[in-house]
Structure 1
Amino acid sequence: MTINRLNEKLSPASTVPLKSVSIHDPFWTSYANLAREAVIPYQWEALNDRVEGAEPSYAIQNLRIAAGIEQGSFNGFVFQDSDLYKWLEAVGYRLSTHPDPHWEAIADEAIDLLEKVQLPDGYINSFYQINGLDKRWSNLTEAHELYCAGHLIEAAVSYYHATGKRKVLDIACRFADCIDNTFGTEPGKIQGYDGHQEIELALVKLYQTTGEERYMKLAAYFIDERGNSPAFFLDEFEKRGRTSIWSPNPHMPDNTRKPDLKYFQADVPVREQKHAVGHSVRAVYMYTAMADLAGLNNDPTLLEACRTLWKDMTRKQMYVTGGIGSTHHGEAFTASYDLPNDTVYAETCASIGLVFFASRMLRLEPKAEYADVLERALYNTVISGIALDGKSYFYVNPLEVWPHACSCNPGKHHVKPVRQHWFGCACCPPNIARLLTSLGEYIYTTDAASRTAYTHLYIGSEANVQLGDSTFKLSQTTAMPWSGSASFRLSELSGSASFSLAFRLPGWTNGNRPTVLLNGQPLADSAAEVRDGYLVITREWSNEDTIELTLAMPVLRLTANAEVRYNAGRLALQRGPLVYCIEELDNGSKLSSLAIKAEGDFATETNDNLLPGAIVLVGEGYRDTEVVEADQLYSSASIPQPEAAAIRAVPYALWGNRTPGEMSVWIRYRN
């Protein structure tokens, strides 16, 4: 670590507020409409256990029992409350961009229910309110109390910004005050932290909304305490008689029955952590809060830890689709380069958390590397997690599927060849909903110090931008992800002003400099600066100025580091932000017998049956002939000989929306 980095002054950029961004995009508008018109209504029905054929949620029922409205026992997972909170957060984002009295009224009813559930001291948790308040805060390792609280806080912030109504924000503040009165280093307080990080980033949002510094300090306490008192989970385990909510508990090694501190990212202080370990969602939620606090508290040591963890995760433990967490045992990271394709976990929530972390790093230092990963996760794993009708979901996002093995191999039972209507543990569906409805927050940031407005994602939109004393509307039109064109127009600028516009140069352009037109005329290379992967244009701007970018979009043959043994002799295809895969429907069964030419061009075809405007890749390849008799398992008779075959690849984001069958991202290749 260098002295310069330790002494650097942090000046975080700002996001353009969600209410100031409207999305009008051929690709993303369909997903935004899906979230508003299908996902939110469907999930409300699921939360109320009214979806035929889906696993029951119990979320609303549990809260009604806790409020004394109904009689009964608690059902579902200990963190079931959080599903409603994430749904409510998504409704808040929906109302920010598309006000709707109907859904506002439904959300208000849910908030009224929460008000009835809340205890006088501010506490809310249906599991303990039904099963016994004497046990609350006794199992922070497993019980997700602060995790649920964090999601309630995030929902409250979203809904308050959308509607201006304080009821749910006041509920969240009372709960946060309860937590502040319970945790800390002062005598009589619990000197500990939650097993599932989430409260930390939520408290930052609450501070930014209310201006109450106690909330930011509490977030910093939870981050700083983690790993500084590694015995906390162990002591708690002993105090509760070595009992567990889960039986058996997969997060406690069989030989000791004690919590695995690495699994909880609690074995060492966060500033000393060098590798992404443990439960992947918990990790990226924690990293997000660390990045937030690094900027708010001008803490370069915390930022340096974020940089170290980012590099380890994205360069040694991330799938080509932007998935993280390679094992279903604990939904966790394993080790560098251990990235199996057919037993992978790559939980949808983990990639959503990766989007959160990447966006916070972008605010701290606008480097294209962060936006490239954000885009990779968003365009691939995140939207792969939802069907095109918005009513079924992937929890697990594999890179290779053989349905027969999934049905009979217990090591692959978690891998599904078709999306599911709902889950008993339904964290992913409402997480997708809240990301899709808040997508406008991830496109642009502004840096007042350098008077620069950054475009991180090429998504058709209009943004009302404030940059110091300058305000203007930036309108973006793009045909991505299907072609590399994007144009920008400035309007509503109050007089000419000098500032910079910065446009990301995506890694998928393969180093090709874009064609740039300013007001229809070629822009000289000397008139723009390339800085940290962004094309920065600084000038005196006027109303109706236009920038047109044409970004190269070659079909890339990606190979993996030689340490990734699962991908030896195989390649993956990428065009623009989209990773491609092959499916049985287009290529026949036994996808493992296919090989693609190591060189040569690909034809592109439009397939509106997948999605309007969707581009399919068609390339030359081979299929091995079958030489082993059907009633034999092995044979030495001859070696399979390749026969010419056309290979058709579709965007990974869209796989599994047609006839179920085999799927593979990584494909063998031949010269």
Structure 2
Amino acid sequence: MSFQRRFRNLLPKQIRVTDPFWSVWQDTLCRRTIPHIHQQLMETGRIANFERAAAKSGRFEGLFFNDSDVYKWLEAAAYAQAIRPSTEVQALIDETVAKIAAAQEPDGYLNTFIQLKHPQLRYRNLAALHEMYCSGHLVEAACALAENLGQTALLDVAVRNVENIRSVFGPGKRVGYCGHEELETALVRLAEVTGDASYREFAAWMIDQRGQRPSPFERELEDEEAMAVNDHPRHALLRNGVYNGEYCQDHLPIRQHTDVVGHAVRAMYLYAGATQVAMDRGDRQLEEALERVWQALVTKRMYLTGGVGASASNEGFTKDYDLPNLNAYAETCAAIGFLLWGQRMLEATGDSQYADIVELGLYNGALSGIGLDGESFFYPNPLESRGQHRRTPWFLCACCPPNVARMIGQVGSLAVGASEDELWVHLPIGFETELNLGGSAVSVSAKGEYPWKDDFELAFRLDRPTEFAVRVRIPGWAEDVSFEVSDDGEPAEYQDGYAVFRRVWKDGDRIRANWGMAPTWVEAHPMVLDDAGRTALQRGPLVYCLEEHDLGEPPQNFTVEPATPAEAVPATDLFPGAVGLRVRGWLRLRDFSDGLYAPLGTSDEEPREARMIPYFLWCNRGPNSMCVWLRHTEAVE
């Protein structure tokens, strides 16, 4: 399938999320998360670093990529302002942008770590020091402020910073790109916001250069002064003393990639940017590589929750089917990067398989990264715990909190897209928007209680009858789907997992859908050894887990009976409208206090019922044992 832009995502300012599920999260984002993260940025010196860089004096505080946390907060704050305007938050935005602008060097360079500590090392350790990564998040924040709030002060800073990079790197100049991808996808966004296609071409050049030999990182390894500041590349990029580059996807040119390797967040950002570059270019070799790597990831290296990157040692991938539960890394940022890549694959193909993964990660592996209070977070997202995991208000390496904040602010954009004569509904959430479709102004409202209930309704208000198409995604998990359309009209066509209703729409027309949501027990590929003899429970887009809080004992001692249907029960004590699932099984009673082993079959068991809860809700009542994958007695008949 040729990559062509099928639609454009609506901007947060263009869509009002009325959904009872996501409204809670967006209210929390605006009231608590945005102020909380800003406070952390102040207390940890991240914003003060810009003040010191402007004054050209003082010490740098924190990790060398801390500037990026400020930029991600600004992007999230832009979305928050678009959906819930606040004079207090706007004042914080204005103040922060002014400090960033004051810190920028006359030639456009901007990186407070280098400016305050190592001004002689500009662009000399691209493999490790994240200069372009920080610039990428600067660009993303600037574009968010310009697109959603019409504020361009930071955009001017970002453009000058990118021009500084382009004065050094590019065709006919020095070959270079960042060890941590992000600038690539940001440059494509900058091209769209400014109308300057050369930024897109610069992104394409960087993507094409990565993996070629000799790598610019090989030369950097010989720079003793640069390595003295951060020699991580000498450990991460070499294998048996020979340059390998897998850690930062520099092992092969991208068109030769067959598997996803290395650091998970970096890989997701690379492929997201490459997908944007590939759209409308007719580069079938690049398209095939992206499709090939995607399939390898979702069929061999993805968690049930949509989490990716199993290993803490490289914050990334190891080998096929290596998906441990207790020691799962599954970084929040990696899940977010994965769903952002999926959204771009969806834009390029219109194929609902990518929307299925966006939904999976959004409701599970990414959303689990933030607590219900909006002020506590997970960095890794394991699928099992023995009580050692807990949510925390901040991290030394704090990439995840502002990243999950900007994700929540973009939920409307992930849910709905449009072209000149087509409305695309990817996620059946409640929303209101006004669009131009088929040459007419159309007001669209959607109602539903997803992910708890399976009814969904779209309603249209028009001044005059107008022909356009409405594409409604059929969730990949749905087995019993029904649609009802006003006046019956033409029957739906079904294309790439979407029900397509093309007709002349009149004022008051509606589409009603039902997804047939039911609990489903699933099993893993037999090569996933951690899940052998175990089963997991899903309902709609949600993955469920069992916590010690609900069982009364560690769930590691519980064996579920999947042949007994799971029963929907309230979980509103945890989240408004939430649905839990009551399951039945057996609790092992032997305490093994007399030794580590016992003859098979000598442990007593008693019947036990327990409520399972959605995975994203776990550990909101304090640390305790948890399992997604449970031992089971027999297969479902």
Scaled by the length of structure 2, the TM-score of the pair is 0.96
Looking at structure 2, the residues matched to 109 and 386 of structure 1 have their Cα atoms a distance apart, in angstroms, of 26
Q: Which moved more, 1:194-203 or 1:631-640?
A: 631-640
Shift of 1:9: 6.8
Is 1:17 matched up with 2:21? no
- Which blocks of at least 5 consecutive residues in structure 1 are unaligned? 50-56, 407-416
Say which is worse superposed, 97-106 or 147-156, in terms of deviation. Answer: 97-106
Post-superposition offset of 1:241: 6.0
1:571–1:643 CA distance, 2 compared to 1 (3 A): same
SS in 2 for 1:130: helix
What displacement does 1:230 show? Answer: 4.7
**Change in 2 beyond 3 A, CA 1:251/1:467:** farther
Secondary structure (helix, strand or coil) at the match of 2:569 reads: strand
Whole-angstrom CA distance in 2 between matches of 1:158 and 1:9: 25
| Partner secondary structure for residue 142 of structure 1 | helix
Q: Partner residue of 1:54?
A: none
Q: Does 1:499 align with 2:468?
A: yes
Aligned to 1:650: 613
Matched, 1:58 2:42: no
Query: 1:602 aligned to 2:602?
Result: no
Aligned residue number for residue 53 of structure 1: none
The one of 473, 477, 489 equivalent to 1:508 is 477
The more displaced of 435-444 and 135-144 is 435-444
**Native 8 Å contact 2:17 2:431 kept in 1:** yes
Report the Cα offset of residue 590 of structure 1: 3.1
* 1:624 CA drift (Å): 2.0
2-structure distance, mates of 1:273, 1:467: 39
CA distance in 1, matches of 2:237, 2:89: 46
Q: Distance in 2 between matches of 1:244 and 1:356?
A: 35
- Structure 1 partner of 2:426: 456
Q: Give the Å deviation of 1:304.
A: 1.8
Partner of 2:460: 490
Deviation at 1:200, TM superposition (A): 0.4
1:238 aligns with 2:225: no
Q: 2:542 aligns with which of 572, 578, 587?
A: 578
Partners of 2:574 and 2:52 in 1: CA distance: 44
> How far apart are the structure 1 equivalents of 2:629 and 2:598?
26
Deviation (angstroms), 1:99: 2.8
Secondary structure of 1:263's counterpart equals helix
- Find out whether 1:208 has 2:192 as its counterpart: yes
**1:582, distance to aligned residue in structure 2 (A):** 0.3
* Equivalent residue pairs, number: 634
Letter in 2 for 1:424: L
> Is 1:366 aligned to 2:350, yes or no?
yes
SS at match of 1:421: coil
Q: Classify 1:273/1:637 alpha carbon distance in 2 versus 1 (closer, same or farther; 3 Å).
A: closer
**1:504: Cα distance to partner?**
1.0
Contact 2:127 2:233 in 1 (8 A): no
Which runs of structure 2 are paired with 1:515-664 in the superposition (5 Å)?
515-519=482-486, 527-626=491-590, 628=592, 630-636=593-599, 639-664=602-627
SS at match of 2:55: coil
CA 1:253–1:362 in 2, change beyond 3 Å: closer, same or farther? closer
Match of residue 248 from structure 2: 264
Whole-angstrom CA distance in 1 between matches of 2:158 and 2:280 = 21
Contact 2:534 2:632 in 1 (8 A): yes
For residues 15 and 264 of structure 1, the distance between their equivalents in structure 2, rounded to whole angstroms, comes to: 29
Equivalent residue for 1:96, pick from 71, 76, 82: 82
**Alpha-carbon spacing, 1:249–1:233, altered in 2? closer, same or farther (3 Å):** closer
C-alpha displacement of 1:14: 1.4
State which of 443, 449, 474 in structure 1 corresponds to 2:415.
443
2:271 is the alignment partner of 1:287:
yes
How far apart are the structure 1 equivalents of 2:325 and 2:437? 45
SS of the residue 1:589 aligns to = coil
Contact 2:560 2:583 in 1 (8 A): yes
Cα RMSD (Å) of the superposition? 1.9
- Checking the alignment, whether the CA contact within 8 Å between 2:69 and 2:399 is kept in structure 1 is yes
SS, match of residue 127 in structure 2: coil
**Aligned residue in 2 for 1:424:** 396
For residue 159 of structure 2, give the secondary structure of its aligned residue in structure 1. Answer: helix
SS, match of residue 330 in structure 1: coil
For 2:55, the aligned partner's letter is: G
The amino acid across from 1:108 in the alignment is D
* 3-state SS, counterpart of residue 94 of structure 2: helix
Alpha-carbon distance, 1:239 to partner = 2.8
Change (3 A) 1:103 1:479: same
Structure 2 counterpart of 1:480, which letter? Y
Instruction: Please say which of residues 644-653 and 419-428 is displaced more in the overlay.
Output: 644-653
- TM-aligned CA deviation for residue 647 of structure 1: 2.7
| C-alpha deviation, 1:254, in angstroms | 7.8
Which amino acid letter does the alignment assign opposite residue 439 of structure 1? V
Q: Which of 194, 197, 202 is the equivalent residue of 2:181?
A: 197
Q: Confirm whether residue 376 of structure 1 aligns to residue 360 of structure 2.
A: yes
Task: From 139, 153, 164, give the equivalent of 1:167.
Answer: 153
CA distance change for structure 1 residues 280 and 230 in 2, over 3 Å: closer, same or farther? Answer: farther
Mapped partners of 1:458, 1:387: distance in 2: 23
Report if aligned partners of 1:627, 1:637 keep a CA contact under 8 Å in 2.
Answer: no
Counterpart of 1:409 in structure 2 is: none
